[in-house]
Amino acid sequence: MTGLKLYSSLLSANGRKVLAVCCALEIDITIEEVNVYAGQGNSLEYLKINPLGQIPVLSDAHIRLSESNAVLIYLSEKYGNMSLYSSIPERRAEINKWLFWESSQWQPLLTTIMAKEIGHKLLPELLDAPQSKPDWNNEQITMQCRYLESVLSEREWLAGDELSLADFSVAAMSTYFKTASFPYNTYPRIAAWLDRLSENEAWQKTEHSLWQQ
């Protein structure tokens, strides 16, 4: 046993990416379910763990770590033998580039685009179904999707020829793509990349049934 504990939920894309990496690296970890969508992140008990009330949070020995991509790096460096990261500075920098892009560009945009569909799916009794589908023709998201599509036209995985943290991180928000009617036909390279990842056992095991339809 490692003594690792993860406060998270498979309902969450950020939670899923961390759990998938743990599974891929065969890291023994205890999961403490925190359903932030049901308000559990606002409990006094949980706010002592993360004052922002967000998930995931990793607890290990003398460290308590939030921010999902930082957690991915920590797990890979300490427990993963760098197999999804790299000891080569250039490859590590390439992976880091995608982790920063995911948190600063990709995830914020997708969250805005898909918010109504995700919200209704999570809380159908409180949030009405959207009257229209997400605007996938939005200029900003189109620019980012085309960028991702162009990169994947040259390689199988985001950081080269091998699966890495970059793929788990960037693919996390695709957890919601079926619910939000992502235009797979418009971006065949992205679709093919996600198909490749869907064959990964760790990715399969961490898919929540709510998002499978």
d(CA 101, CA 167): 12
Cross-strand partners of 7:
32, 57
Residue 27 structure tokens = 């890291």
CB 85 within 8 A of CB 92: yes
Q: What is the pLDDT of residue 2?
A: 56
Q: Are residues 64 and 103 in the same domain?
A: no
CATH of the domain at 53: 3.40.30.10
Q: Are residues 38 and 127 in the same domain?
A: no
**Structural domain of residue 108, as residue ranges?**
89-206
Structural domain includes residue 101: yes
Q: What is the pLDDT of residue 80?
A: 87
Which residue in this structure is represented by tokens 């929540």?
A: 208
Question: Which residues fall within 8 angstroms of residue 96, CB to CB, at 6 or more apart?
Answer: none
Structural domain includes residue 11: yes
pTM of the complete model: 0.96
Q: What is the pLDDT along the chain (213 residues), one digit of tens a residue?
A: 458 999 999 899 999 999 999 999 999 999 999 999 999 999 999 999 999 999 999 999 889 999 999 999 999 999 988 999 999 999 999 999 999 999 999 999 999 999 999 999 999 999 999 999 999 999 999 999 999 999 999 999 999 999 999 999 999 999 999 999 999 999 999 999 999 999 999 999 999 999 987
Number of independent structural domains in the chain: 2
Q: What is the pLDDT of residue 1?
A: 42
Please say which residue of 54, 78, 102 terminates a domain. 78
Structural domain includes residue 213: no
CATH of the domain at 120: 1.20.1050.10
CB 70 within 8 A of CB 85: no
